[in-house]
Chains A and B, each alone.
Chain A
């Protein structure tokens, strides 16, 4: 299953997200501070992937 790491733009902590949410237009919820934001608003994204 493909994953990516999103870094919350508010608290700058990273958490793991299913790839299906990367372009779904749904807000992520930071588990550390509760901030809701779109994936493209992440402070950083690690979406490296290999088959």
Chain B
């Protein structure tokens, strides 16, 4: 039987931020939050069929599936929540901005929050909601979860949330989104795509030791945005996540390793496990961010040691290859590039990672250009700083990088391919699982200033201001014949 514990005694008087507290903020707005009460089988695509149809209608609410089946085919005790990050407005809220500031302000806000770290605090198990229920041994069964199979060629259900790890002998934690394939209740292969996490588990493997990990299945959206920062090796990502939450992340000693491995006290569900050194299992295909399937491959696996969850826990899933997934990473990269260019060059105005490149592979960067060559410098800095960024398009500040028509206009009419497009070869990161090449492209789509060159047409701004449509247009009934 699960071990029940008291969940009261929150630090600071108010309730700490959690996924549950965030959902309470949006659940009364039907544009932001919808529920599905009928029984759904996440292995049979019931969940992704709902989300896909909403996507095709241009609607992106967070959806809570109240009655899913678990991987045993039995009613799950956990509802599924997905599409949490599917709008920029919700991401802005998660970063403490008003919904009206979801455009270029969001990238700069992200950059600001990266530097605003809050050191985590440690609480006892009695004060950790995530340890209200504890399962160990044979009872720690991942198949109790309503994991989602997303796409037709996916190998099976996948846990899409983040993994926490630390390197041997180090006291800082890395948190990164991974994919865990629960091939049985006690064992799951997973893929890791970030350099720090890869470095950590390989360090354990070189020592022939099992690498402790915690798979965190649900937390406040701000916590997750904080984990996506491109922080240097040695930074404690719990502290970075605290900056985004605007309060310290509360940690609790894990059930398996005690104070030697701390886990988020306010998470929904946590799987504790150990990566087995030198062993590999089959994972994938999986429909991923590029709207393609990652190929079947060998990957490390973990053996589960414990599962813990809070009272009335919610199981969080990312709808991969869709807005939920794209924005989750693109806003972090927009902020990372903005911050990096601000520090290195000082002339960046805005950065946007468009949906047309899945929020990952192309950056539209506007700069306040004062000299030729600055656009290429900006593009080079961005590509060097952000893994998997394939194309950097640099435009002038009068081009709105959130308006793709304007950006492509600049590419079409201000770019001489021979002069303004640069190909950079052999930059593929070692852990890029996709079948795409290793070259990168910088496109300088700023207006040339070293030669006589046309300008973009415009109606004089003062006349746009002077002529107000509501005063000048005839009423509809008078315009109609």
Question: Which residues in A have some Cβ–Cβ distance to B below 8 Å?
Answer: 1-3, 15-18, 20-21, 24, 26-29, 31-32
CB contacts (< 8 Å) of B155 on chain A: these are 29, 31
CB contacts (< 8 Å) of A18 on chain B: these are 295-298, 433
Cα A26 to Cα B298 with chains together (Å): 9
Contact A3 B295 (CB under 8 A): yes
CB contacts (< 8 Å) of B436 on chain A: these are 1
CB contacts (< 8 Å) of A32 on chain B: these are 153
15 additional contacts, CB 8 Å, given A21-B298, A32-B153?
A1-B432, A1-B434, A1-B435, A3-B295, A16-B296, A17-B296, A18-B296, A18-B297, A18-B433, A20-B297, A24-B298, A28-B282, A29-B155, A29-B296, A31-B156
CB contacts (< 8 Å) of A1 on chain B: these are 295, 432-436
The answer, yes or no, to whether B293 is at the interface (CB within 8 Å) is yes
Cα A2 to Cα B432 with chains together (Å): 12
Chain B residues 395-438 with CB under 8 Å of chain A are: 432-436
Cα A18 to Cα B280 with chains together (Å): 14
The chain B residue sitting closest to A28, CB to CB, is B296
With known contacts A1-B432, A21-B298, A26-B298, A15–B153 Cβ distance under 8 A: yes
The chain A residue sitting closest to B432, CB to CB, is A1
CB contacts (< 8 Å) of A27 on chain B: these are 282
Contact A15 B434 (CB under 8 A): no
CB contacts (< 8 Å) of B298 on chain A: these are 18, 20-21, 24, 26
CB contacts (< 8 Å) of A26 on chain B: these are 282, 298
The chain A residue sitting closest to B436, CB to CB, is A1
CB contacts (< 8 Å) of A24 on chain B: these are 298
The answer, yes or no, to whether B154 is at the interface (CB within 8 Å) is yes
Contact B434 A31 (CB under 8 A): no
CB contacts (< 8 Å) of A17 on chain B: these are 295-297
Contact B432 A16 (CB under 8 A): no
A31: which of B154, B297, B432, B433 is its contact (CB, 8 Å)? B154
Cα A31 to Cα B152 with chains together (Å): 8
CB contacts (< 8 Å) of A16 on chain B: these are 153, 285, 293, 295-296
Least CB distance, B171 to chain A, in whole angstroms: 35
Contact A21 B296 (CB under 8 A): yes
The chain A residue sitting closest to B280, CB to CB, is A26
Cα A31 to Cα B157 with chains together (Å): 11
Cα A18 to Cα B285 with chains together (Å): 10
B interface, how many residues as a size bin?
Answer: 10 to 19
The chain B residue sitting closest to A19, CB to CB, is B295
Cα A3 to Cα B437 with chains together (Å): 13
* Centre residue among A20, A24, A31, A32 by max chain B CB count within 10 A: A31
Least CB distance, A46 to chain B, in whole angstroms: 12
Cα A17 to Cα B432 with chains together (Å): 15
Smallest CB-CB A-B distances: 5 pairs:
A18-B297, A17-B296, A16-B295, A18-B295, A31-B155
CB contacts (< 8 Å) of A31 on chain B: these are 153-156, 285, 296
Chain B residues 147-169 with CB under 8 Å of chain A are: 153-156
Least CB distance, A48 to chain B, in whole angstroms: 12
Contact B282 A3 (CB under 8 A): no
Cα A27 to Cα B435 with chains together (Å): 22
CB contacts (< 8 Å) of B433 on chain A: these are 1, 18
Least CB distance, B48 to chain A, in whole angstroms: 15
Cα A15 to Cα B297 with chains together (Å): 12
With known contacts A1-B432, A29-B155, A31-B155, A21–B285 Cβ distance under 8 A: no
29 pairs across A/B with beta carbons < 8 Å?
A: A1-B432, A1-B433, A1-B434, A1-B435, A2-B435, A3-B295, A15-B153, A15-B293, A15-B296, A16-B293, A18-B296, A18-B297, A18-B298, A20-B297, A21-B296, A21-B297, A21-B298, A24-B298, A26-B298, A27-B282, A28-B282, A29-B155, A29-B282, A29-B296, A31-B155, A31-B156, A31-B285, A31-B296, A32-B153
CB contacts (< 8 Å) of A20 on chain B: these are 297-298
Least CB distance, B306 to chain A, in whole angstroms: 27
Least CB distance, A8 to chain B, in whole angstroms: 11
Cα A1 to Cα B293 with chains together (Å): 13
Contact A3 B435 (CB under 8 A): yes
- Could you give, for residues 285-325 of chain B, a 1 whenever the CB lies within 8 Å of some chain A CB and a 0 otherwise? 10000000101111000000000000000000000000000
Cα A21 to Cα B298 with chains together (Å): 8
CB contacts (< 8 Å) of B297 on chain A: these are 17-18, 20-21
Cα A24 to Cα B298 with chains together (Å): 10
* Centre residue among B154, B156, B282, B296 by max chain A CB count within 10 A: B296
Cα A31 to Cα B150 with chains together (Å): 12
The chain B residue sitting closest to A4, CB to CB, is B295
Least CB distance, A4 to chain B, in whole angstroms: 8
Cα A28 to Cα B150 with chains together (Å): 20
